[in-house]
Every structure is written in structure tokens, then in C-alpha cells.
């Protein structure tokens, strides 16, 4: 929907405020024993009441059957075509640990791995060495210098790290060095297009030095790199929607995503209560807030149905505090489903609520997949959510005479 060709002619700045609460992994699937989803199992008096005074529907994050990663799931909710604006793994890993990538920087996901005496990979994750073991190794790698390129290496978790390259004449079209199987030697990085030749050369020098530095380590005696990527070139939400948008998210990855689309990232704490305090504090200074709630996804990824139910109930208890701010438009959406039954992100459509002064009479009996899918909004691509929110906020002119 970001590509609706006349959008810039339709948007208008108004004093109305939109709060978009993104419940990560919101959608679920019925438990085979009960036939009820996580949302249907949870006791959600406040969300149910909210559904009663909201327009409701379902979103399809990318396309039917497609399971989105966190990147595409959020991009779609922010109104960006997640296929057109696909970001690389390196960028997402960098955002995930809070690295402030500049335009043009190249980020890659790195793994420590184990190779045998002949250089063949025997363990692609170096026995999943603990973070405490990998951090000192990352510090050693950080000393590697390659002429003409500014390199930095950042620990992630366990055997994972991020490599960032800054400099002129860099390109992201570099093939990964991870053969994604054992028993073979790591691949050389190679330039898929000519403007990435310098980058591939620098990467190969880095890898060669890393091998020398790590020689003698029992497990982490080599590295593999993949997902070379740059920040995608994105239109700013501020310009696109005539908004002053802000992001409130405890996790670095979501802050990074928000920054990428031009939101101001507000400093906040580690919990959702902290995020709400931040929202309260800054409520007057912006007209769009992206508020991120993580625990539902984490529980779903763990395959823990009961924990996902608990996480939704915890969220429910915070809803009254959110409603006290009485935003003109309150959106409750999810970036994708994470059914506990799957123990992973899923392809299932995701419930959606939009409350505004125009929705008082159109609610459903509760907040769940089953209730929302017969709601007044119908089932729409997730890229439609921003436009629906803008419409409810009175921020969109009529299209055509």
C-alpha cells in the first residue's frame, strides 16, 4: 500500500495521534486438545472489551503460505512492501545488537566454526561456544586491519558475530563464505557484480587473517560469513505519511528497523511497563508511535502454549494504562503469527484491531483469530494497516473528484 501512487497527494498532517501496538508473534493456532488458540485460551478482559469497540480483521504479513522473518513482518506493518524492501541478514543482525549502521555500510553475519587440519569444516557453529568464550575472540578479530576499509567486529551471542565494513567503493553483492555443510573448506567470498570486487577482496583478507589469529583454538579456529547487505534505501515514513513518528521498543532489532524507516527512536527501558512510561512521557511530542511487545513471540518460539497465554494476559493487564492516553487511533497488530504448536514463526493470518471514534459500534465479541476474521475490516495485506490507521485518524483526503 505504500506504493499507492497518489498517497503523497492524499496525506494531511492533523493533531490526531496514532498508537500502533505491535504484539510480536500475535497470531496463533488452535491447540489440538481444546480447539482453542492462545488468544482464545487466555483471559483477556481488557483486549476483549477493546475488540468490542474496535474495527477488527486479519492481516496477511507477506502472502498466503509465506512465513515472514521479523524484518518483513514489521516492514509490512509500517506500510512498506516487504518483498520490494527485503533487507539482508547482516543488516538485521547488526540492527539486532544495536549497531548504528550508516548508509553504505556493509554488514555480514559471522559464525565461528571448527575446521580440521586440512581446513575442512567439522562444526559450522564451533560447538556453539558460549558468549563468554566468543567475546575475547571477537576482540582479537577486531584488531584486523585492511587498507582502504574500516572494519569492525561485534559479538552477538554464542558463536555468532557481526562484521561491518565502512569505506568508499564498497558493494553488498558478495557471496557468503559459509558452504552451509561440513566436510568441505569455507568458500572464498566473491563479487557477484563488479562494484563489489573491493569488498570481496577485503573480506578474503579478513578471513585469512582471522584464520591465522584463531589457529590453535580448540573449537573456534575459523570463521564463515554470509548475508552481506546494506541498509535498504527506504522512503521515510515522516515524509510519506506527513507524520512525526516515534518508536518505543525494548529490543535493539526493532529500534533499528524503526530507525531505518525514519522514526525517531525514543530511549526506553527493558520492560513493556518501561515502554508505556516512555509513551506517556513523549505523548505530546509525536503523532505516531510504534510500540513493540516481545514476550508473545518468545513464548511461541519456545513452543510453550501456556507461556504464550500468560504473555498475552500480561499484556492485557497493561491495556488500561494504554487506553488512559486515549489515542485518536489505537492499532493492535502483529508482525506475524507464532503459533506455539509450530514453535516458530508461521504463515497464518494475524488478528488486527483498530479503535477510533469511528468504530464504537462495530466491534466483535472478543479478541481472537476466530472473532477478528469475521470483523468489519476483513482480511487484508499487512501493508494496508498504515493506510487504515491514517484513514481512521482523518489524515487522508478523498481520492479523486
Q: Where in 203-222 is the site for a copy of itself (CB under 8 A)?
A: none
* Residue 341 touches a copy of itself, criterion: CB under 8 A: yes
Collapsing DSSP to helix, strand or coil, 373 comes out as: coil
- Least distance CB 1 / a copy of itself (angstroms): 6
Q: Output DSSP code: residue 194.
A: G
Closer residue to a copy of itself in complex, CB, 221/348: 348
44-73 binders of a copy of itself (CB under 8 A) = 58, 60, 62-72
Q: At 373, phi and psi to the nearest 5?
A: -75, -10
* Residue 176 touches a copy of itself, criterion: CB under 8 A: no
Number of residues near a copy of itself (by CB under 8 A):
73
- Least distance CB 38 / a copy of itself (angstroms): 11
**Beta-carbon neighbour count of residue 273 at 10 Å?**
13
- The answer to whether 90 and 112 are in contact (CB under 8 A) is no
Closer residue to a copy of itself in complex, CB, 176/227: 227
- The answer to whether 251 and 294 are in contact (CB under 8 A) is yes
Cβ-Cβ contacts under 8 Å for 144 (sequence gap 6 or more): 151, 153, 206, 209, 210, 213
Closer residue to a copy of itself in complex, CB, 107/279: 107
Closer residue to a copy of itself in complex, CB, 115/382: 382
- Least distance CB 210 / a copy of itself (angstroms): 23
Site track 288-327 with a copy of itself (rule: CB under 8 A), x = hit: ----------------------------------------
Closer residue to a copy of itself in complex, CB, 278/348: 348
Binding residue for a copy of itself, selected from 232, 300, 349, 351, defined by CB under 8 A = 349
Cell numbers at residue 361, please? 459500534
Binding residue for a copy of itself, selected from 133, 304, 318, 362, defined by CB under 8 A = 362
Binding residue for a copy of itself, selected from 8, 12, 13, 34, defined by CB under 8 A = 34
- The answer to whether 93 and 160 are in contact (CB under 8 A) is yes
* Residue 337 touches a copy of itself, criterion: CB under 8 A: no
Cell numbers at residue 225, please? 560469513
Cell numbers at residue 195, please? 562494484
Buried b (16+ CB within 10 A) or exposed e, 254-266: bbbbbbbbbbebb
Identify which range of 114-122, 191-199, 316-324, 355-363 contacts a copy of itself by CB under 8 A. Answer: 355-363
Site track 1-30 with a copy of itself (rule: CB under 8 A), x = hit: x--xxx---x------------------xx
Cell numbers at residue 248, please? 518505543
- The answer to whether 23 and 313 are in contact (CB under 8 A) is no
Binding residue for a copy of itself, selected from 177, 311, 348, 368, defined by CB under 8 A = 348
Helix extents (H) in 152-301: 197-214, 237-241, 252-260, 272-282, 295-301
Binding residue for a copy of itself, selected from 42, 92, 249, 340, defined by CB under 8 A = 92
Cα torsion for 333, 232, 180, 98, to the nearest 10°?
Answer: -70
Closer residue to a copy of itself in complex, CB, 228/272: 228
**Beta-carbon neighbour count of residue 378 at 10 Å?**
14
Identify which range of 190-198, 280-288, 315-323, 354-362 contacts a copy of itself by CB under 8 A. Answer: 354-362
Q: What is the C-alpha separation between 92 and 313, in angstroms, rounded? A: 29
* Residue 361 touches a copy of itself, criterion: CB under 8 A: yes
Collapsing DSSP to helix, strand or coil, 238 comes out as: helix
235-274 binders of a copy of itself (CB under 8 A) = none
- Least distance CB 367 / a copy of itself (angstroms): 16
Q: What is the CA radius of gyration of the chain?
A: 23
**Beta-carbon neighbour count of residue 160 at 10 Å?**
20
- The answer to whether 331 and 19 are in contact (CB under 8 A) is yes
Identify which range of 128-136, 148-156, 294-302, 367-375 contacts a copy of itself by CB under 8 A. Answer: 367-375
369-398 binders of a copy of itself (CB under 8 A) = 369-370, 373-374, 376-381, 384, 386-391, 396-398
CA atoms within 13 A on the CB side of 288: 26
- Least distance CB 87 / a copy of itself (angstroms): 7
Amino acid at each position: 500500500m505504500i506504493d499507492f501512487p497518489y498517497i503523497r497527494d492524499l496525506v494531511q498532517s492533523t493533531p490526531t495521534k496514532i498508537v500502533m501496538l505491535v504484539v510480536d508473534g500475535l497470531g496463533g493456532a488452535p491447540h489440538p486438545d481444546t480447539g482453542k488458540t492462545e488468544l482464545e485460551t487466555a483471559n483477556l478482559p481488557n483486549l476483549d472489551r477493546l475488540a468490542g469497540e474496535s474495527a477488527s480483521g486479519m492481516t496477511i504479513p507477506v502472502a498466503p503460505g509465506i512465513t515472514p522473518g521479523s524484518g518483513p513482518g514489521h516492514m509490512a506493518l509500517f506500510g512498506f512492501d516487504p518483498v520490494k524492501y527485503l533487507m539482508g541478514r547482516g543488516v538485521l543482525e547488526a540492527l539486532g545488537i544495536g549497531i548504528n549502521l550508516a548508509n553504505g555500510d556493509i554488514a555480514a553475519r559471522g559464525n565461528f566454526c571448527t575446521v580440521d587440519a586440512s581446513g575442512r569444516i567439522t562444526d559450522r557453529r564451533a560447538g556453539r561456544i558460549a558468549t563468554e568464550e566468543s567475546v575475547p575472540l571477537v576482540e582479537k578479530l577486531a584488531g584486523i586491519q585492511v587498507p582502504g576499509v574500516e572494519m569492525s567486529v561485534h559479538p552477538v551471542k554464542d558463536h555468532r558475530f557481526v562484521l561491518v565494513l565502512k569505506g568508499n567503493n564498497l558493494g553488498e553483492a558478495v557471496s557468503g563464505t559459509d558452504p552451509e555443510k561440513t566436510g568441505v573448506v569455507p568458500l572464498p567470498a566473491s563479487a557477484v557484480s563488479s562494484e563489489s570486487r573491493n569488498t570481496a577482496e577485503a573480506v578474503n583478507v579478513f578471513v585469512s587473517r582471522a584464520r591465522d589469529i584463531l589457529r590453535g583454538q580448540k573449537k573456534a579456529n575459523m570463521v564463515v560469513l554470509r548475508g552481506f547487505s546494506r541498509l535498504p534505501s527506504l522512503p521515510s515514513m515522516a515524509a510519506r505519511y506527513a507524520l512525526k513518528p516515534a518508536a518505543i521498543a525494548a529490543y535493539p532489532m526493532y529500534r533499528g528497523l524503526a530507525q531505518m524507516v525514519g522514526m525517531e527512536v525514543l530511549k526506553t527501558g527493558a520492560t513493556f511497563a518501561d515502554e508505556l512510561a516512555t509513551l506517556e512521557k513523549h505523548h505530546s511530542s509525536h503523532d505516531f508511535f510504534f510500540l513493540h511487545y516481545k514476550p508473545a513471540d518468545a513464548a511461541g518460539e519456545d513452543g510453550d502454549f501456556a507461556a504464550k497465554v500468560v504473555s498475552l494476559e500480561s499484556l492485557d493487564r497493561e491495556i488500561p494504562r494504554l487506553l488512559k492516553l486515549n489515542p485518536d487511533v489505537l492499532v493492535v497488530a502483529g508482525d506475524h503469527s507464532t503459533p506455539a504448536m509450530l514453535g516458530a514463526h508461521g504463515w497464518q493470518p494475524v488478528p488486527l484491531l483498530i479503535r477510533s471514534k469511528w468504530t464504537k459500534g462495530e466491534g466483535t465479541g472478543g479478541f481472537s483469530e476466530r472473532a477478528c476474521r469475521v470483523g468489519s475490516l476483513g482480511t487484508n495485506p499487512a501493508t494496508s494497516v498504515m493506510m487504515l490507521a491514517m484513514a481512521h485518524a482523518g489524515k487522508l483526503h478523498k481520492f479523486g473528484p
